[in-house]
Every structure is written in structure tokens, then in C-alpha cells.
Amino acid sequence: MSLTFDRPSQTTVATTVEALRKDFGDRAVTSHAVREHHSHGEGMRDAGLPDVVVFPETNEEIASIVKLCNQARIPVIAFGTGTSLEGHLKALYGGVCIDLSRMNNILQVNAEDLDCRVQAGVTREQLNAEIRSTGLFFPIDPGANASLGGMSATRASGTNAVRYGTMKENILGLTVVTPDGRIIKTGTRARKSSAGYDLTRLYVGSEGTLGIITEIQLKLYGVPERISAAVCQFDELSNAVNVVITAMQLGIPMARIELLDEVQMDACIKYSKLEGFAAKPTLFMEFHGTDAYVAEQIEQMKSITADYGGSDYRFADKPEDRTKLWKARHDAYWAGMSYKPGNQAFATDSCVPISRLADCIAAAKAEIAKTSLTCMIVGHVGDGNFHVQISFNPNDAREREQAETAAAQIARIAIGMGGTCTGEHGIGIHKLDALKEEHGEAVDVMRTIKKALDPNNIMNPGKTIPMA
Amino acid sequence: MIDLWQQQIKAAAAKGEKLAIKGSGSKLFLSPTHEGAALDTRAHSGIVEYDPKELVIVVKCGTALAEVEKAMADAGQMLAFEPPHFGEGATIGGMVATGVSGPRRAYAGAVRDFVLGAKVIDGKGDHLSFGGKVMKNVAGFDVSRLLVGSFGSLGVITEVAFKCLPLPKAEATRVFEMDSATAIEAMNRWYAEADPITATTWVDGELYVRFAGAAPAVNSAVQKRGGEALANDLDWWRDWREQRHAFFANAKELHRMSCKSTAPVLDDMATAIEWGGALRWVEADEANAAKLRYQASRAGGYASVWRGGASTHASAAQSLSEPLKEIHAKLKTSFDPYNVFAPLPLGEVAR
């Protein structure tokens, strides 16, 4: 079985846009600038413009848009903050982009139950700012200040995943608008049960291809009594990697442990004006817990880093120092982008069994060494997940081709080591071939599910699941 | 074995017959119906891959849970969701298919949170692989987790990869005499204050709290909270997990209520509390059951019969809206177009 989609006729599009204008007035926008802004994420800007961008404010409004599109067989693409990396937002067949930014209310905060319910347009920074006074926080932090709807749809994770998990472990339930325009709720306030299949897990990470996530019930965590961040530098990348592997095997409950190679560190020092660091392989770490627990974790880590020739620790205990450090880490992508003026960059997203991590990073570096390109490595190495950011000149077709070939090869190396082509960025349009390579026949079942739940293939068509 | 099962499934599909997937039968009491020729998962047994350094174990469906736990304990590791066996020969396949987690669930995560990947034979007889054996994988739909708690309705789960965690260095259980309301408040507050808690149970006027982790952290928590030490703590928690505690033995009709963790206790029904307040075991007769279900829905959750009463599944099925029922049916058909496997599970699933 294969999926198909034909670009709707210009008349159909015009009629739909007219109907949306009538219902939404100036909240249905067709200007080129707005459509262009909604046609890509932070990845490669190979734009494919939607025909119209609509800014709904309620679940019911979204349902009405989707119903209209389903009748007219017009694609629907959900847009949060536009920070996805794999072409998730590109309107391959035009269609209606639903911008969820006006759905930015925090609907409930249940401090005692450690959960909250938010609309999909709430960003992770907004949520944390608004719940600060409750002594709670939401830990998942992809680099960008993404919307929680987008983070749910792409099953995002971040630097805290080792300790707090990723979106999939932190979502209790969802409200979803189905492709036929109905509003459903999955999961309940009760975090430990649901009737029937675990549909929440199916929608989380479906990249807008099964429905539009409009509300999310999220777990929250108490802000730990003590948070301590530390930086340790190494002469050899492999030593830094081995420190992480050892820490994971000992079960040290690191809140964060992030690797930057010497090139990435150089870029970050320059971009974020970090002082007192060398351009060397580096680990950024953070410890959460009670005073006693944090002190114990730091002692354990110090003995491991000493075994692998790590430097003395530089601590950042004051909130502003920690913020600066993690801001620099989160800006690694932008640091990489600006490392060579005029260049663009994109990032691979391999995740491998942790014992293969050092090998996989070395093999990836060797792959780039075959080209004339610059690359830098940053990773949530506690999970076996790392990104090779490949920098290239966008005006040089040969460089771009080299970069794309190398990225595909790096994904293949990871799959060959028993890993995956994507640990957190998702499939979008750029990794459809890798998905087939990784999952084989299982992709047929995914396609069957897509066909069953979205028979007209209007939900973000051409993404996530290969059409054939 | 896989080949044989594929043939068996294809033959059943061709003839319009059903197959009953079954392991040791330890959790059959949770399963609504079982018709057709048996497909005994225990014929496909063994640990496929276990290198403790990887923190991953790959196991065939018919492997005894006890065997897996023994291998992991020998390497200083565990399945962190502390799965109940409910019977001697409990299998890994049954554990995943029912999705039942134990006392550590509220603190470490559920079965599904530790499933990294799974292989399954669908109703067409195709052997498929979802997810993998790495810690994070967002390639395509998250089907391996959809299989958790699917009660064999989507296919024969043949192999599962789990994330392993190291056993805690230190563990101590303290007992506090307190009423249920105080206990619920304490469980929630202590956890929010980042105590290294891995299990909580309130039963018969006593709150049992298990602290675990690095020795200094456990010691400081124990000093801070006080309480009495529980001597035979390993046995106590094992008995509680396996529901061999007197509370379970004495209950005639036991209901399981899943709710928000701060929900108040229903004073007129015998209750035990675990998972930081989010799971309640309630003894209720038929007359009380409706009231319990109403209270559960007010507390944002469900209540359903666990043992000894009418089918758990009928009551919970009513809670699914029409569009949700349709989605369930479509998913079922996507995997099992010829209805070879058990029908859709609409019961409350203890995830």
C-alpha cells in the first residue's frame, strides 16, 4: 500500500481560503512574508509555502478549519514556533498552516499533584516563567524556546533527558483534533492509567501527521534544593565520552551531561563570549538534589573524570552563572551557524548504544574528514545521542551535496551500529530514506496506521512516513 | 519458532479462526476473553542480548520474568518499574502485553517508559521490528510503546528491548503511623521536596516509605523524616508487589482506582494507597462500586474491578467516547485485519 496526495486545484484552494477569510477575518493571512515565515523551521530553508496561515484561538476553531480542509482535501500543517529541523513545516503541496501561537494559555497548574495543562502554543520558557512561584519546573529543554505543542508532536528532548526523560515520559494526556475535525482527549489527570490503547504515545512524535495536538497535560517537578553546574575539559574527546559512559553505568543521576568537541567549544567561546575556557573537548554537567545528594554525586564524578585525565571543575552555582553556561550550550547551533561567516549548517542526530558512542563519533568525524567541510560535535551523550553540525557554503552546490552525502552516511553508520538515524529531531522530510533503512517492513504498518487514521492524507502529507 | 507462528497466524487468518496468545497464565485474570487455539509464548524463550555495560537487555517473549530479574540482579541491575509477577512462571511477554507496573512505578516510570523497542508478528503473519535498542529513538510512530498494555490484541510480541538501571546502592524503608489524609499529604510533599523515594504505601494506618539511592542521600532523608525502621523490608515490598499482603488476601471484591495523587480518601470503604497517592486499592461491594467510580471520575481518573467482581472491562469501555472507540478499532484493524487475535482491550490498564 502506498499513500498519495495530489495538490488541490487552484479553484479549491481559492474557495477554501475565501471561506477561512470569512470565518477568521484578519486571522487568515495570505501575505507572502507571513506564508514564507511559516514555510520552514530552523533547518534547511528550502521553502514550500502554504497557501494561507490561520491563527485560531480555540480547539473548536481548529476543528472547524480541519473539517473544511478534510472536505476540500487540502493539507493542514500545524505550526508552533517554527524551530523544527527536518523540514517538518515545508508545505510540499501548499495548504493551510495552522499557527498555534494564539493558543498560549496555561489552563491549570496543579502544584500539589505536580502537573499542569497547557494550550499547544505555550512555549517551554513561558511555562517555566509562569510556574516559577510554585517552586516547580518543567525540565524538557530543546535548544530553541519551542512550543509545547511542537515539542509533543516531535517527541522532543533536551539536555535533561538522562534524569527527567523526554516528552514521551512527561506527557500525561492530550487534546487532539482528528483529521475529520473531531476533538478527542487521550489520557486523564490520573497519570497512571487509561482505558484501551495508549493513544497518547501514538500522537506524541507523530509530527502532525495523525492530528493536531491542541492541549497537553504535563508532569512538573519540584525545583531541587540544590543545583550545581560544573565544567570539565579534556585533551582527548574519547576520554570525555568514556567519562559519560562510566557515569551512566554507575547510575549517577546526572541532571545534565553534555559533550562539546574542540571545534564546537571554540565556536561557543566566540559566540557566547565564554571566558577562561580552552577550545578543547568539554563536558557541561549539572547535578540536582538535596545538598548531601549533590555533594555525593560531585565526588563520584570527580573521581571518574580524574581517571580519564579531566581538568579541575569550574563550578557555576549562582543562577546567573548557570544560565549563562546553559545559554551557551543551547546556542551551540547558532554558534555553529556563525562559525564560518556566510555558511549554513545542519545537524545530524544519531543515537547509538552507549558502548559504540566513541566509535560512532570517530567514524562520523572520519566521514567529514573525507570532505573539505568543517564540522563540530555536540551531544546529549548520556543517551548515546550526538549531533554533528556540518557547516557548508550554501552557494556552493558541491559543498551542499558533500554535506548531505556525509549526513546520510553518518545516519547509516549509526543504524549499522544498532542505533537510529534520529534520537530527537524526528524524520520530517529529510530522513524518510533512513527510516526505511532502519525499520524495513515495519514502515508498512506505520503507513497503514496513517491511512486508517487520516484516510484523505491531509495531515502534514509527505512527512514522517514515506508515501511509498 | 517465529516461522511456525507466522504460518499458524497466516493459516488462522485464511480460515477466519482465532488464536489465543498465552504465557504462563499468571495475569489471565486481567484479560477479558481468550478464544481459539493456544499460541504458547513460552516456546520462544531466552535472553537474546545482555551486556550490562550497555544498560540494555533484549529478551524473547516467553522468557520467565524471574530469569530476567536474576540475570540483571547478578549484574547489579534491575527493571526499574518493579513488575509484579502474580504467579511463578510470569513471562516477559505477559508483562509487556498487560503493562502492569509495581511499587516503583510512580517514581521510576512504567513498563512503557523502559521499552526501547519490540518485535511483533501482526495478524497478517509479518514479523516486524519497531524502535530499537538505544535510549532515544524518534524515527516514525512510537509503535513499540503502543504494544504495551495492548493485551495481545495487536499481535504476538516476540522480543522486547528494555532499558536497565543500576540497583540502588542503599535502600531503607521507614514506617510512620498516620491517618490516610496525613499520609497522602506527606507522600506528595516529600516527593516534591526531592527526597530519594522509590515506593510509598499506606495500609492499616501505617505509611511505608522506601528511600533508595546513594548512601548519604538515603541517610539524610531517613534522618530528616524519622519513622521506624522496617526490618524485613525486601520481603515486605515483594509481598506487597505480589499482592500477598493481608489487605489483598482479605478483600472480597477489590477495585483499583487510579486518580490524581492528592485525591481525598473515601472513608467508608477499606482502602490501601500507593504510588504517592495516585493508586488506590478499594474494597467495595456492588452497591458501593458505582459510588467509587463516580468519585474516581471526580478525581480525574477511573475505578474498575481488579479481582473478585464483574468484568473490569465493561465499565471502563463506557468511558471511551465514540471517536476514541473508532480510533481503537482502526488501530486494531491496521495490525490485525482478519481478527485473529483477542478483541480490543477496553479495560483500565495499569500503566
The Cβ of residue A132 has, within 10 Å, a number of other Cβ atoms equal to 11
Residue A386: what are its φ and ψ, rounded to 5°?
-145, 160
Distance of CA B90 to CAs B25, B46, B94, B116, B238, Å? Answer: 7, 14, 7, 21, 15
Amino acid A213 reads: I
Instruction: Say whether both A273 and A348 belong to one domain.
Output: no
Whole-angstrom Cα distance, residue A15 to residue A132? Answer: 46
The Cβ of residue B118 has, within 10 Å, a number of other Cβ atoms equal to 27
Smallest CA–CA separation between A29 and chain B, in Å?
Answer: 31
pLDDT of residue B115: 97
Instruction: Say whether both A297 and A391 belong to one domain.
Output: no
With beta carbons under 8 A apart, name residues in chain A contacting B292. none
A295 in a structural domain: yes
DSSP secondary structure of A46-97? -----SEEE---SHHHHHHHHHHHHHHT--EEEESSS--SSSTT--BTB-EE
The CATH number covering residue A400 comes to: 3.30.70.2740
pLDDT at residue B130 above 80? yes
Distance of CA B270 to CAs B234, B250, B265, B284, B292, Å? Answer: 25, 11, 10, 8, 12
Beta bridge partners of A385: A351, A380
Per-residue pLDDT tens over the stretch A391-409: 999 899 999 999 999 999 9
pLDDT of residue B313: 45
Place of cell 547509516: A412
Amino acid A406 reads: A
Selected residues 119-158 of chain B with any CB under 8 Å from a CB in chain A: 122, 126, 128-130, 132-143, 145-146, 148-150
pLDDT at residue A163 above 50? yes
Question: Which ranges constitute the DSSP H helices of A96-143?
Answer: 124-131
Q: Which among A389, A406, A425 is the end of a domain? A: A425
- Would you say B178 and B205 are in contact if contact means Cβ atoms under 8 Å apart? yes
Question: What pairing do the DSSP bridges indicate for beta strands A212-219 and A282-289?
Answer: unpaired
Question: What pairing do the DSSP bridges indicate for beta strands B37-40 and B47-51?
Answer: unpaired
Q: Which helix (H) or strand (E) holds A272?
A: helix A262-272
- Would you say A71 and A19 are in contact if contact means Cβ atoms under 8 Å apart? no
- Provide the number of CB pairs (under 8 Å) joining chain A to chain B: 274
pLDDT of residue B349: 45
What mean pLDDT do residues A99-111 have? 96
Average pLDDT, chain B: 91
Closest to B32 measured CA to CA, from B350, B343, B254: B343
Per-residue pLDDT tens over the stretch B32-58: 667 899 999 999 999 999 999 999 999
Whole-angstrom Cα distance, residue A274 to residue A233? Answer: 14
Smallest CA–CA separation between B100 and chain A, in Å?
Answer: 10
Instruction: Say whether both A198 and A264 belong to one domain.
Output: no
Whole-angstrom Cα distance, residue A428 to residue A460? Answer: 10
Burial (CB count within 10 angstroms: exposed 0-12, middle 13-18, buried 19+), residue A240? buried
Amino acid B315 reads: S
Beta bridge partners of B202: B207, B273
- Would you say B215 and B208 are in contact if contact means Cβ atoms under 8 Å apart? no
Cβ contact (<8 Å) for A196 and B345?
A: yes
Distance of CA A329 to CAs A271, A333, A385, Å? Answer: 11, 8, 15
DSSP state of A134: G
What mean pLDDT do residues B244-261 have? 90
Instruction: Say whether both A113 and A218 belong to one domain.
Output: yes
Question: Minimum mean pLDDT among A6-10, A303-307, B162-166: which range?
Answer: A6-10
Question: Dihedral of the CA atoms B341, B343, B346, B347 (nearest 10)?
Answer: -70
Domain count, chain A: 3
Selected residues 173-212 of chain B with any CB under 8 Å from a CB in chain A: 188, 191-196
The CATH number covering residue A172 comes to: 3.30.465.10
pLDDT of residue B319: 64
Burial (CB count within 10 angstroms: exposed 0-12, middle 13-18, buried 19+), residue A41? buried
Distance of CA A392 to CAs A395, A430, B83, B90, Å? Answer: 9, 17, 50, 55
Instruction: Say whether both A303 and A354 belong to one domain.
Output: no
**Nearest residue of B to residue A418 by CA position?**
B133
The fraction of chain A above a pLDDT of 70, given in percent, is 99
A10 in a structural domain: no
Question: What residues does each domain of chain B span?
Answer: 2-166, 170-313
The closest CB to that of A196, out of B136, B143, B328, belongs to B328
Question: Dihedral of the CA atoms A25, A31, A33, A39 (nearest 10)?
Answer: 80
pLDDT of residue B351: 44
Instruction: Say whether both A237 and A344 belong to one domain.
Output: no
Cα dihedral across residues A197, A198, A200, A206: positive or negative:
negative
Beta bridge partners of B166: B77
User: Higher confidence at residue A1 or residue A302?
Assistant: A302
Please give the class, per CATH, of domain B2-166.
alpha beta
Cβ contact (<8 Å) for A290 and B221?
A: yes
3-state secondary structure of A259: strand
pLDDT of residue B310: 56
Whole-angstrom Cα distance, residue A298 to residue A252? Answer: 9
Whole-angstrom Cα distance, residue B305 to residue A44? Answer: 53
pLDDT of residue A113: 85
Amino acid A420 reads: T
pLDDT of residue A1: 79
Determine the distance from the C-alpha atom of residue B264 to the mean position of all C-alpha atoms in its chain, rounded to a whole number. 24
Closest to A333 measured CA to CA, from A94, A146, A196, A115: A146
Whole-angstrom Cα distance, residue A380 to residue A360? Answer: 14
ipTM score for this prediction: 0.93
The Cβ of residue B105 has, within 10 Å, a number of other Cβ atoms equal to 27
Cβ contact (<8 Å) for A225 and B261?
A: no
Selected residues 297-316 of chain B with any CB under 8 Å from a CB in chain A: 299-302, 316
Beta bridge partners of B199: B210
What mean pLDDT do residues B194-221 have? 93
C-alpha cell at B241: 508487589
Q: For chain A, how many helices (H) and strands (E)?
A: 17, 19
pLDDT at residue B311 above 90? no
Instruction: Give the strands of the sheet with B156-163, arranged side by side.
Output: B47-51, B56-60, B156-163, B115-121, B127-131
Q: Which among A222, A257, A279 is the end of a domain? A: A222
Cβ contact (<8 Å) for A293 and B217?
A: yes
Cβ contact (<8 Å) for B141 and A383?
A: no
Mutate which of B30, B56, B105, B134 to test chain A, going by most A C-beta atoms within 10 A?
A: B134
Place of cell 534547511: A44
Whole-angstrom Cα distance, residue A162 to residue A383? Answer: 7
Smallest CA–CA separation between B267 and chain A, in Å?
Answer: 20
Cβ contact (<8 Å) for A423 and B134?
A: yes
Beta bridge partners of B272: B281
DSSP secondary structure of A334-377? HHHHTTSTT-EEEE-B-B--GGGHHHHHHHHHHHHHTSS-EEEE
With beta carbons under 8 A apart, name residues in chain B contacting A295. 216
Q: Which helix (H) or strand (E) holds B304?
A: strand B302-307
Whole-angstrom Cα distance, residue B20 to residue A398? Answer: 58
The closest CB to that of B302, out of A166, A193, A464, belongs to A193
DSSP secondary structure of A167-187? HHHHEEEEEEE-TTS-EEEES
DSSP secondary structure of B188-216? HHHHHTT--EEEEEEETTEEEEEEEESHH
The Cβ of residue B254 has, within 10 Å, a number of other Cβ atoms equal to 20
- Would you say B100 and B84 are in contact if contact means Cβ atoms under 8 Å apart? yes
Instruction: Say whether both A218 and A116 belong to one domain.
Output: yes
Q: Which helix (H) or strand (E) holds A307?
A: helix A291-307
The closest CB to that of A225, out of B166, B194, B324, belongs to B194
Instruction: Say whether both A296 and A384 belong to one domain.
Output: no
Whole-angstrom Cα distance, residue B145 to residue B140? Answer: 12
Instruction: Say whether both A234 and A305 belong to one domain.
Output: yes
Cβ contact (<8 Å) for A193 and B348?
A: yes
Q: Which among A182, A205, A222 is the end of a domain? A: A222
What mean pLDDT do residues A338-351 have? 90
Amino acid A232 reads: C
Instruction: Say whether both A316 and A377 belong to one domain.
Output: no
Instruction: Say whether both A215 and A110 belong to one domain.
Output: yes
pLDDT of residue B350: 42
Mutate which of A174, A197, A425, A437 to test chain B, going by most B C-beta atoms within 10 A?
A: A197
Cβ contact (<8 Å) for B166 and A441?
A: no
Per-residue pLDDT tens over the stretch B133-151: 999 999 999 999 999 999 9
Whole-angstrom Cα distance, residue B280 to residue B237? Answer: 16
Res. B18 pLDDT band, cuts 50 70 90: very high
Residue B264, chain A, CB below 8 Å: the answer is: no
pLDDT at residue B314 above 50? no
Q: Which structural domain, as residue segments, surrounds residue A368?
A: 340-425
pLDDT of residue B33: 67
Instruction: Say whether both A110 and A218 belong to one domain.
Output: yes
Cβ contact (<8 Å) for B217 and A445?
A: no
**Nearest residue of B to residue A252 by CA position?**
B214
Whole-angstrom Cα distance, residue B23 to residue B91? Answer: 6
Q: Quick one: angle between helices A319-330 and A262-272, nearest 10?
A: 120
The Cβ of residue A276 has, within 10 Å, a number of other Cβ atoms equal to 7
Question: Minimum mean pLDDT among A40-44, A152-156, A204-208, A283-287: which range?
Answer: A40-44
